[in-house]
Amino acid sequence: MPETGKPKCGNFCFRLFSFVFSGMKNSRDAYGQQLLAQYKSQTATAEIIERDDFYIDTGSDAGLYFTEYEQWSASEQQAVELAAGRILDVGCGAGRHSLYLQRKGFDATGIDNSPGAIEVCKLRGLNKAIVRPINQIDEFAPDSFDTIIMMGNNFGLFGDAENAKAILEKMSRITAPDAHIIAGTHNPYQTVDAEHLEYHEINRKRGRMPGQLRIRVRFGKIVGDWFDYLFVSPEEMQNIFSDTDWRIEELIAPEEANYFAVIKKKF
Amino acid sequence: MPETGKPKCGNFCFRLFSFVFSGMKNSRDAYGQQLLAQYKSQTATAEIIERDDFYIDTGSDAGLYFTEYEQWSASEQQAVELAAGRILDVGCGAGRHSLYLQRKGFDATGIDNSPGAIEVCKLRGLNKAIVRPINQIDEFAPDSFDTIIMMGNNFGLFGDAENAKAILEKMSRITAPDAHIIAGTHNPYQTVDAEHLEYHEINRKRGRMPGQLRIRVRFGKIVGDWFDYLFVSPEEMQNIFSDTDWRIEELIAPEEANYFAVIKKKF
């Protein structure tokens, strides 16, 4: 489609493009299709993640996305217990946190850019589950939420520091004045793995943050799209919030590789 | 190096080639390097296998190669108990079967084409562990073994029917007159997975047996070499032995997806 001017092919062309594009999106939804397959077969499989330096590994424990509260770490349990009111679960996956919070009586909305993930959430009984990438959260009305949760390292969905600031501005708009964000991340420096340390160096050389992973999910024959997923140290997280409306109120288990931040509005 | 005539570069050239080739071999030993990493870190990871139709999956349960007798299936226990005398373990991996048999007092020799796997066997205390691919088993002297074991689906190492016959001839030579082979495989038709069934069809079209997988192992940044690994039904196995010195004496759990054959010499 030409970049300028009205497309000549009109509605048919638009429908064709939409069809092709929606097909492409689904065919690349390795993450969601894996969740769906696991849900339907009731089997626990580990996801396979490729990094852009050809490093490949299983990215999470088998069955992680379907775990229940009792199986979560102490810090994860502590973090999720801080959610209250109208809750937005960003990158909700198979909905384990939203479903828990819904059962507790909260008004939980799960969003994920993966159509397969959202399908699983609905099949599992999550009332509010929407296909929406994080950078489109401003489609929610102002003052829609009291808590935003970004569990399971989903601080990473900010992608990079600049994008984080743009999204935090949107988060500011769609939340109540006394709202808070609960975000989990992974400290990339808590490793002695030579290949991870080498990747930090590659990232520094190309002007990226050391923990800024470019990764994709593979499942069966489906190759997911590349995306950035940001791991930060507590200090790096602090820097990201410096010129935003938000401040870190509390860190949960900052000495551990996986830790959480409770983030409040400055004013 | 030219295909005909004596190479002009002489000894230096040979050494350079040897160095490059040995480096390449090690750098492609994804399977062995993963075993080594698991052994050293005492962690259980699942191996990642790519098939030549772009299908990717974790190929074995995490930690499988380091399991002990008590963790094996009933049919695997039954199969390994039939080994006796001088035993050759083809594709011994981390040596779980050979180590068990060595502890029982048998003279067990493990071979594997993976240098990393053989290193792990030695580290674990296997007295006889040799880097040797299956098609080089005729390097053993005649009448060297009473039992050949091919555990963990290692019937697959035959690669294809034709190669199986050539290797069975070599196995005939290096074993005693009353020797037997104990070989495990996976029945490829015990699946309802659309992607596996589609792969069978791809194989039929290109003149390969449906269960003739072309696969490679990936570990970290190491991409293993492609190799053929053959899954067969009991009937297909029967056909492979038809014009060889060997016959199936007994099948263990032929109704299961993973089953074993006890193979004896015809004469």
**How does DSSP assign B195-242, residue by residue?**
HHHHHHHHHHHTTS-TTEEEEEEEEBTEEPPPEEEE---HHHHHHHHT
Identify the pLDDT of residue A44: 85
| pLDDT-flagged residues of chain A (< 70) | 1-27
Identify the pLDDT of residue A22: 43
Identify the pLDDT of residue A69: 97
Give the CA-trace dihedral at B61, B63, B69, B70, to 10 degrees.
Answer: -70
Rounded to two decimals, the ipTM of the complex is 0.75
Over residues B218-224, the mean pLDDT reads 94
Chain A residues within an 8 Å CB radius of B58: 45-46, 48, 58
Identify the pLDDT of residue A61: 77
Q: How far apart are CA B82 and CA A195, in angstroms?
A: 43
Q: Which residues contact A241 (CB under 8 A, 6 or more apart)?
A: A168, A247, A248, A263
Compute the radius of gyration of chain A from its Cα atoms. 19
Coil, helix or strand for B131? strand
Where are the strands (E) in A59-167, listed by range?
86-90, 107-112, 128-131, 145-150
Chain B residues within an 8 Å CB radius of A49: none
CA angle A63, A66, A69 (to 5 degrees): 115
Contact B143, B122 (CB under 8 A): no
CB contact under 8 A, B220 and A48: no
By C-alpha distance, which of A184, A215, A220, A214 is closest to A36?
Answer: A220
A53 touches chain B (CB under 8 A): yes
Identify the pLDDT of residue B34: 94
Q: What is the pLDDT of residues A90-148, one digit of tens each?
A: 999 999 999 999 999 999 999 999 999 999 999 999 999 999 999 999 999 999 999 99
B219 touches chain A (CB under 8 A): yes
Minimal CA separation from B56 to chain A, in Å = 5
Chain A residues within an 8 Å CB radius of B218: 56
Q: Is the pLDDT of residue B264 over 70?
A: yes
Over residues B21-45, the mean pLDDT reads 80
Identify the pLDDT of residue B60: 77
pTM comes to 0.81
Of B46, B62, B221, the CB nearest to A55: B221
Contact B252, B78 (CB under 8 A): yes
Identify the pLDDT of residue A45: 83
Identify the pLDDT of residue A46: 87
Angle of the A10-27 helix axis to the A115-123 helix axis, nearest 10: 70
Between B210 and B46, the higher pLDDT residue: B210
Q: How far apart are CA B113 and CA B92, in angstroms?
A: 9
Q: How far apart are CA A112 and CA A31, in angstroms?
A: 11
* High-pLDDT (> 90) share of chain B, %: 85
Mean pLDDT for chain B overall = 91
A48 touches chain B (CB under 8 A): yes
Identify the pLDDT of residue A3: 37
Identify the pLDDT of residue A106: 98
Quote the tokens at residue B226. 């492609």
Q: Is the pLDDT of residue B62 over 80?
A: no
Identify the pLDDT of residue B27: 66
Q: Is the pLDDT of residue B70 over 80?
A: yes
Q: Which residues contact B108 (CB under 8 A, 6 or more apart)?
A: B87, B89, B97, B98, B99, B101, B102, B126, B128
By C-alpha distance, which of A151, A117, A153 is closest to A132?
Answer: A117
Quote the tokens at residue A231. 């791991």
Over residues B176-182, the mean pLDDT reads 98
**Lowest mean pLDDT across A52-61, A197-206, B91-100, B166-175:** A52-61
Q: Is the pLDDT of residue B139 over 60?
A: yes
Over residues B2-9, the mean pLDDT reads 39
CB contact under 8 A, B46 and A58: yes
Highest mean pLDDT among A121-125, A190-194, B6-10, B54-58: A121-125
